[in-house]
Amino acid sequence: MAISTSSSLQTDLPETQDSEVIEESQDQDVTVDASTAHSGAIPSLPTPFRPLTETYSYHSPKPTAAGPYMLGVDEAGRGPALGPMVYGVAYCPVAYKSQLEELGFADSKTLTHDNRTGLLEILGSDPENLAWSVRVISPQAISSGMLRRPPTNLNKQAENATITLIQEVLDQGITLSEVYVDALGNTSSYEKHLSHLFPGISFTVTAKADSKFKIVGAASIAAKVTRDAWITGWAFEEHESSPQYSWPDERGSGYPSDPKTQAWLRDAIEPTFGYPSLVRFSWATIKVALDKNAHTVKWPDEGQGSLVKAFESPKGRDKGRCVLARELSIKSVEDL
């Protein structure tokens, strides 16, 4: 078992969907008991539990059965405005397929929280044949990627997470012959791209793969249980430096359409500092909320062709005072 942190692998992948369109795509998240969210029952969360400040990967113990192996890929949390996006993989020997069919894995969105937690335990009950991994992409990483120039949109970040997980499994010495990926958008071009990156592996990329292939259903369990544990048991890093601040405990699923999430967003905003790092600042919902309810900030160098021009002295009434001094209301000691 291992937890590692690293930056997302960058690849030259085609853009397939607009990030704001993805925001509207959602599954049926449910609220789970925060008391069990990081009690040690979910091995993909760090021990001791701490704030999520960077993206990381978790890997269960390496299986020992002979290969080749098949692997499934699915995600949880593409659409929410709160919390991480989690990509999960599950893998087992191709020869184990008939046994896998009997274990009850299915699309995690069709199962209850208790069902999913039980299936995650089953996924870890046969370490000789079954293994799983997750890539937990922090809200900060999602926001910084989408807001940088040029941006790394959510599709690109999702593809990077998929590629990273597959490569990390291969790096363990696991021989993969079949990989099944649940994906949106142009699945045929994505399938060709993955086949080019990993020659010798047969890729199947399709929508609703979690309901078509049990190994993808198993991956969806790993991703969903991990995300649910993070979102309900969230540790606010802001408490470390500003313990006087607190935020409502009831956050809902994190989707902008969830009434509980909408209520949390209304109550959690701080006019000067905005939202805590649980929030994805690149989401349109968050941008609108900040524009309406937070203080407007005017940057002194906004609209300047270069930083040097901020120090040039203007003409007219403000003659003799540079732009920077005027914007910051800086006065000479002689004037005081």
- Is 74 flagged in the annotation as binding? yes
- Is 114 flagged in the annotation as binding? no
Instruction: Give the model's pLDDT for residue 31.
Output: 31
Instruction: Give the model's pLDDT for residue 74.
Output: 96
Taking Cα atoms as reference points, which of 161, 158, 128 lies closest to residue 56? 161
CA dihedral for 102, 105, 107, 111, sign (positive or negative) = positive
User: CA angle 254-165-55, nearest 5°?
Assistant: 45
In the DSSP assignment, the letter for residue 166 is: H
| Distance from C-alpha of 331 to C-alpha of 163, rounded to nearest angstrom | 55
Instruction: Give the model's pLDDT for residue 270.
Output: 86
- Is 159 flagged in the annotation as binding? no
| Distance from C-alpha of 82 to C-alpha of 332, rounded to nearest angstrom | 46
| Residues 6+ positions from 38 with CB-CB distance below 8 Å | 45, 49, 229, 233
Instruction: Give the model's pLDDT for residue 49.
Output: 87
Domains of the chain: 2-232 (3.30.420.10), 298-336 (no CATH)
Instruction: Give the model's pLDDT for residue 322.
Output: 64
Tokens at residue 3, please? Answer: 């937890």
| Distance from C-alpha of 27 to C-alpha of 79, rounded to nearest angstrom | 8
Q: Check: pTM over 0.85? Answer yes or no.
A: no
Average pLDDT by consecutive 10-residue portion of the chain (336 residues)? 43 32 35 37 89 95 95 95 96 96 81 87 94 97 93 94 98 98 91 97 95 94 95 84 76 91 91 90 91 81 56 57 65 59
- Helical segments of the chain, H only: 19-24, 97-101, 113-123, 139-147, 154-171, 187-197, 209-212, 214-232, 238-241, 259-268, 284-293, 323-327
